[in-house]
Amino acid sequence: MDVNPAHIVTVTDFSSETLQSMIAHLEFSTAFEHLVYREAELDAIWTITGFYLRAAPDSDQRRQVNHLHDGAHQAHDLVADGRPREAAAILRRFL
């Protein structure tokens, strides 16, 4: 996987591929700018899962997405706190 923490991961869905790319970028992020990009990606995941949850009927998948939505929020706050590797560990639970 091509990982450059100075690039923003394109987040158009919450697939495993997208999450894997985000996790890999979180692992390599150190600078202020990197953390800003990671926060933007997590914001995007939280937004996309939020839109899904508004429309989805009650189901197992909905419950899983709900967990991911909450996990993205937690990971977001960890990145904001300068702890990207802990944020990566949270996302890894959803692979």
Partner 1 sequence: MLSQQENELLTETNCGTPAGQYFRRFWLPALLASEVPAADCPPVRVKLLGEDLVAFRDTQSRVGLVHEFCPHRGASLFWGRNEECGLRCVYHGWKFDVNGACVDMPNEPPEYGFENKVRITAYPTCEYGGLVWAYMGPADRIPELPKLEWARVPAAHRYVSKRFQETNYLQAIEGGIDSSHSNFLHATVDAFRVTDSYVEKVKSSTNLRAKYHLMDKAPRFTVKKTDYGLVIAVRRNAEEDTYYWRMTQFLLPSHTMIPHQKGLSIHGHCWVPRDDETCWVWTMSWNPDQPLSSEDRDAIANETFVHTQVDPVTFRPLRNKSNNYMIDREQQRTTTMTGIHGFAAQDQAIQESMGAMVDRTQERLGTSDTAIIATRRLLLQEIRGLQQGQEPAAAHHGDAYWVRSCSLLLSRQIEFDEGARDLMKAEVYRCS
Q: What share of the chain is helix, strand, coil (3-state, %, to 5)?
A: 70, 0, 30
Contact letters for partner 1, residues 4-43 (x by CB under 8 A): --x-x-xx--------------------xx-xxx-xxx-x
Q: For residues 27 and 43, which CB has a smaller minimum distance to partner 1 in the complex?
A: 43
Size of the site for partner 1 (CB under 8 A): 22
Residue whose entry in the numeric block shows the structure tokens 């991961």: 9
CA atoms in the 13 A half-sphere facing the CB of 30: 1
Tokens of 16: 């495993």
Binding site residues, partner 1, CB under 8 A = 6, 8, 10-11, 32-33, 35-37, 39-41, 43-44, 46-47, 50-51, 73, 76-77, 80
